[in-house]
Amino acid sequence: MARITQELALCLPALTKAVFSQPTEANGAKKIELRPLLLKGERRYQAERLEGTKAFHENFTEAALLAWAEERLEGRYRQVLLVTETESRQFILKRDGSYKKTGSAAALPRPAGAQGHNREKDYILREGEEIPALVDLGVFTKDFKIVKARYDKFRQINRFVELVAQDVRDDGDTIRILDFGCGKSYLTFILYYYFAVRRGLKTEIIGYDLKADVVARCNEIAERYGYEGLRFEVADVTRDRLAETKIDMVVTLHACDTATDYALAYAVKHGVRHIFSVPCCQHEVNLSIQKGGELDLLLEHGIIKERVSALLTDAIRAAVLEDAGFEVDVIEFVDFAHSPKNLMLRARYTGKHRRGGREKAEALQKQYGFRQSLLDLIPGT
């Protein structure tokens, strides 16, 4: 039976941030954030209370803070995040009024600024980390070992999140992400865990999928562990209305066929800064391409035509994004042996438009008569 005031007291000497959210009473502050500060050389703690749209600040000594926490915070917030210089821990309130730890991890240092792409490797998730949501999702066993049958998936997602972590470093205190075609949502949960628990950011993620049962299950798990800000919606991303708020990142992992194009088009149209997209089953070009010139030899045999069509699709996607002002890398994000669908388009908006590729793609489209949705969805600039 953890009492959150005691947990807070233990953390105080090394505390960097504490966040109390999801109040149990409608009339309390929506959220409270605690941070240490130095006042005339003395360590104090500042509480920021968010009430409506206003923020109120109050400074405390250690003893006064703990007395205030006992009176005003204990049992009154469903979700608590305690971040120290070395560790980040997340708790949720149980029905009996005690708190249960739902995640813990070594805290990540927040570097001063973004760096290039060739940075040291960040290990994001290790076997043995206490992430009960991954037990519910069937990725970890009850003692937090990787389920053997999920090993490849775990490796893929870990690598995916490592790449995200390398690129997204200095983007403020809040991150908003959309996952198109989230399926069972291993990636979505791990991204949430990384940003909310490891980095201590306010994290809002929506996972979209066609399958209502899978979406309901993912929402249940997110709710069970108090993952505020993580939700799932049933949507056909090629047709339905999607989030209209500011979004920082769009991710897709093996979203089928043109669902990837709609995700990329969303990112371009909504001014999204980061895209991490691993495409899958690029049928559209394969089904529509016809013979028309020097490349006809590549269309003679089904398997070669399929592979060429997939590569052509992704080359066109990269060219459209570059034309729209993104810097794009196409990388093999895991070994081919772990997943044959292993190309990732990693794009960051820079505002520099790279011309030429899109025009070449349009010329090929005319010559070979194929359809490619992103070319239709995003007009040339």
Ligand X SMILES: C[S@@+](CC[C@H](N)C(=O)[O-])C[C@H]1O[C@@H](n2cnc3c(N)ncnc32)[C@H](O)[C@@H]1O
Q: Which residues bind ligand X (CB under 6 A)?
A: 181-184, 186-187, 208-211, 235-238, 253-256, 259, 280
What are the structure tokens assigned to 340, written together? 């044959």
CB of 235 to ligand X, least distance (A): 6
At 232 the three-state DSSP class reads strand
Kind plus residue range of the DSSP H or E element containing 68: helix 62-72
Given a contact cutoff of 8 angstroms between Cβ atoms, the answer to whether 36 and 48 are in contact is: no
Minimal distance, residue 34 CB to ligand X, in Å: 36
Q: Taking the complex as a whole, how short is the minimal distance between the CB of residue 341 and ligand X, in angstroms?
A: 9
Looking at the Cβ atoms of 181 and 226, the one nearer to ligand X is: 181
Residue carrying structure tokens 């992430």: 131
Task: Say how far apart CA 288 and CA 370 lie, in whole Å.
Answer: 5
Nearer to ligand X, 56 or 151 (CB): 151
Residue 81 near residue 74, CB atoms below 8 Å: no
Task: State the nearest-atom distance from the C-beta of 199 to ligand X, in Å.
Answer: 22
In terms of CB distance, is 210 or 377 closer to ligand X? Answer: 210
CB-nearer residue toward ligand X: 196 or 235:
235
- Best CA proximity match to 371, nearest among 222, 247, 257, 244: 257
The CB-of-16 to ligand X minimum distance in angstroms stands at 33
263: its two tokens: 């995700």
Question: What number of other Cβ atoms are within 10 A of residue 40's Cβ?
Answer: 5
The minimum distance between CB 298 and ligand X, in angstroms, equals: 26
Distance CA(112)–CA(329), nearest Å, equals: 24
- Closest CB to ligand X among residues 72, 254: 254
Can you read off the two tokens belonging to residue 222? Answer: 């997110």
Give least dist CB 219 to ligand X, A.
15
End-to-end alpha-carbon separation of the chain, Å? 60
Nearest residue relative to ligand X (C-beta): 183
CA distance 48 to 7: 19
Q: Which structure tokens are listed for 148?
A: 């053997």
Residues 6 or more apart whose CB falls under 8 angstroms from that of 310 comprise: 279, 282, 285, 286
Q: Residue 157 Cβ, how far from ligand X at the closest point, in Å?
A: 8
Nearer to ligand X, 15 or 222 (CB): 222
Residue 52 CA, chain-centre distance (Å), reads 27
CB of 122 to ligand X, least distance (A): 21
For β-strands 54-60 and 77-84, DSSP reports them as unpaired
Q: Which is nearer to ligand X, 188 or 203 (CB)?
A: 188
CB 302, min distance to ligand X, A: 22
**Taking a C-beta distance cutoff of 8 angstroms, is the pair 146, 172 a contact?**
no
Sheet holding 174-180, edge to edge: 230-234, 202-209, 174-180, 249-256, 274-280, 343-349, 326-332
Smaller CB separation from ligand X, 15 or 190:
190
Q: Which one, 15 or 280, has the nearer CB to ligand X? A: 280
Pick 29 or 218: Cβ nearer ligand X: 218
Q: Strand pairing partners for 23?
A: 77
